[in-house]
Amino acid sequence: MSLRIPVDTIRLAVPVLALSALLIAVFWLQPRAMSYLGLNLLFNLAVPIALATVAQMFILAVNDLDLSMGAFVSFAACVTATFLHSSPLLGALILAAAVAVYAAMGAIIHLRNLPSIVVTLGMSFVWTGIAVLLLPAPGGAAPAWVRSLMTAKPPLVPMAIVASVVIALVTHLILMRTSLGVLIRAVGGNQQSVARAGWSPLLAKAAAYALAGTFAVLAGIALVGLTTSADANIALRYTLLSIAGVILGGGEFVGGRVSPVGAVIGALTLALAGSFLSFLRISPDWQIGAQGAILVIVLALRLFLNKLERQERGG
Amino acid sequence: MMRNQLLLASAAALCLAVPGFATADTSDKQIALSNNYAGNSWRQAMLTSWEKVTGAAVEEGVVAAADAFTTAENQVTEQAAQIQNLILQGYDAIVLNAASPTGLNGAVKEACDAGIIVVSFDGVVTEPCAWRIAVDFQEMGRSQIEYLAGRLPDGGNLLEIRGLAGVFVDDEISAGIHAGVEEYPQFEIVGSVHGDWASDVAQRAVAGILPSLPDVQGVVTQGGDGYGAAQAFAATDREMPIIVMGNRHDELTWWKEQKDANGYETMSVSIAPGVSTLAFWVAQQVLDGVEVPKDLTVPFLRIDQDNLEENLETTQEGGVANVEYTLEDAQAVIAAASE
């Protein structure tokens, strides 16, 4: 083949195509969605999912997996609806401490060479436990500034789209354009060579986990801004959604190959898939299956493209 | 011009010719049911009732559509997304059984801002712009003591079977029972066990506490536990107390057997799953422009000695007694709340 398209562009092409195809289908099924209000309703609940997805992406970038994402976002949501609302300073301190715990978790996982799945699974019970202590029953209230930020109506483009673009840009800059980002991806690629080159893999892993914690906290805050209150189980779905979003967006489980823009698009695609199935009037019993089918189709497309990629390299 | 007039005339004639042609102002309105869970017999009956009543209403032209949507995972974020989708689909009203009393407030507010009527029932929401059809669980507990006071004017010892510990409904019904005992001080609660609203759990719990109790004249319950309690009493040589039932099929069946065998008398009270149809009619009334108070109360479905047979007949095995509400029922509930 003489036509040479950069490999990363091909990787990003699949999620972009999947999102466009779904969007066209949704517009065709429900022309009302093709408006400022419609786009906002379609995508505003995708904003916290996108934030949780990029958080998960930072963990996947260092070859780890965070099974506590949903529990941690729920915990952050509970803190937002209680402390951040009543005494903002204390609330901010608690959230900062939670991010510090995430960094420490990354350091311990690296130092003791522990499997991240086990550590994060254990931590998920800790987060849920604290969340239940904070809010035994659903309740709390969103801080006014969070609520007005999430329901802001910027001119021309709805808030949900603006937020998604900002999240994609910021994480792209962090992971792709800073030396820290390169270091994080390098740890995912080959930890030994990072250490031999004189860099600290410990620092990189702790930084990746701290970034993940930060974005997960933002996910919790954004979620409360939309729902106006929290409960201890509010974001349990986010663990699987965030992993699926990263993979759907062109990320890999190993090798430090992740795409921030792809991850945001993956999260939007997952959210849109739900609306699409709902507009199709598919019975709820089938919806989870249909959602899975969409994932399988996109992943199959990915595998096919990966094969092309390998052939191209080989030839 | 002439042709138009002819068309109009024939249309008018058609209206007159078809008897019972509905002329409600809501005939072009669409109502959606947003439901968070369908995994037990009560919810299944709720959905079946919805289908039956709204299906007939759509056929009669009362409303244009009444579709039911259930979320798959009983999660707040999932139902919030579902409500936002329903807004996009252009429904005029959303009837809502919510996964959380507060977690959906953001989505409900979006719906209200889009001019959509939101009527929540059973699982109600706190957002002020929505209507609430709530269950008065306290009254459900209190009415049991009131009934027993009628049957046993001299009072007596009561055994209380509670529900699942830590759940709001259990606290409410129990608070109502205790308020009733304060009102009728001739009664004393001599024992209390958790039956978890399940027959087998209740049977074990009652069998466990019975040896330590004096004579028991009445058993107050929360529903689902009456049959188990009866089995536990039957296994001893104690006299069968008055056990208040909870409209479940096994409870009604046992009561009927006892009634036929020895004239056993009691009553049974619970909430009918058909309350979804009450919410439907309330939404229809709001769409019709009727002034409806935001807070309404679900009537109980009470079964007494004389209507036991007909209720047992219509209750499915393993299910719970049900009643589907009519427009008139909804108007009565609205009128009661407007006073």
Minimum distance, in Å, between the CA of residue A1 and any CA atom of chain B: 45
User: SS3 breakdown of chain B: % helix, strand, coil, rounded to 5?
Assistant: 45, 15, 35
The residue with tokens 């709805």 is: A158
Look at residue B116 and give its three-state secondary structure: coil
Phi and psi torsions of B303, nearest 5°:
-110, 130
**DSSP letter string over B46-90?**
HHHHHHHHHHHHHHTTSSSEEEEEE-SS--HHHHHHHHHHHHHTT
Tens digits of residue pLDDT in B303-337:
999 999 999 998 888 888 998 999 999 999 999 98
Tens digits of residue pLDDT in A83-130:
999 999 999 999 999 999 999 999 999 999 999 999 999 999 999 999
Contact residues on chain B for A274, CB-CB shorter than 8 A: 78, 81, 85
pLDDT of residue B57 exceeding 50, the answer is yes
* pLDDT value of residue B24: 52
Check CB contact under 8 Å for A32 and B114: no
Phi and psi torsions of A114, nearest 5°:
-90, 150
When the pLDDT of each residue in chain B is averaged and rounded to a whole number, the result is 89
* pLDDT value of residue A284: 65
The residue with tokens 């800073």 is: A178
Minimum distance, in Å, between the CA of residue B167 and any CA atom of chain A: 10
Confidence band, pLDDT 50/70/90 cuts, at residue B251? very high
Tens digits of residue pLDDT in B281-303:
999 999 999 999 999 998 889 99
Which class does domain A7-305 fall in? mainly alpha
A30, A237, A285: residue with CB nearest B73: A237
Domains, chain B: 25-135+272-299+321-338 (3.40.50.2300), 137-270 (3.40.50.2300)
Q: Which residue of B has its CA nearest to A34?
A: B88
Which residues contact residue A10 at a Cβ distance below 8 angstroms, ignoring those fewer than 6 apart?
A305, A308, A309
* Residue pair B187/B150 in contact by the 8 Å Cβ criterion: no
Contact residues on chain B for A287, CB-CB shorter than 8 A: 72
User: For chain A, what are the domain ranges?
Assistant: 7-305
ipTM: 0.87
User: SS3 breakdown of chain A: % helix, strand, coil, rounded to 5?
Assistant: 75, 0, 25
Tens digits of residue pLDDT in B104-139:
999 999 999 999 999 999 888 999 999 999 988 899
* Residue pair B82/B94 in contact by the 8 Å Cβ criterion: no
B73, B88, B101: residue with CB nearest A32: B88
Minimum distance, in Å, between the CA of residue A240 and any CA atom of chain B: 13
**How many whole angstroms separate alpha carbon B70 and alpha carbon A175?**
40
* Residue pair B246/B230 in contact by the 8 Å Cβ criterion: no
Confidence band, pLDDT 50/70/90 cuts, at residue A304? confident
* pLDDT value of residue A20: 95
Tens digits of residue pLDDT in B133-158:
998 889 999 999 999 999 999 999 99
Contact residues on chain A for B66, CB-CB shorter than 8 A: none
Look at residue A81 and give its three-state secondary structure: helix
Tell whether B73 is within 8 A of chain A (Cβ).
yes
Over residues A181-206, mean pLDDT: 93
**How many whole angstroms separate alpha carbon A181 and alpha carbon B185?**
73
Complete edge-to-edge strand list for the sheet that includes strand B131-134: B65-70, B30-35, B93-97, B117-121, B131-134, B295-297
Which residues contact residue B282 at a Cβ distance below 8 angstroms, ignoring those fewer than 6 apart?
B119, B131, B133, B292, B296, B330, B333, B334
Amino acid of residue B70: T
* pLDDT value of residue B20: 37
Interhelix angle A46-61/A260-279, rounded to 10 degrees, is 140
Q: Which residue of B has its CA nearest to A231?
A: B103
Distance of CA A113 to the CA centre of its chain: 25
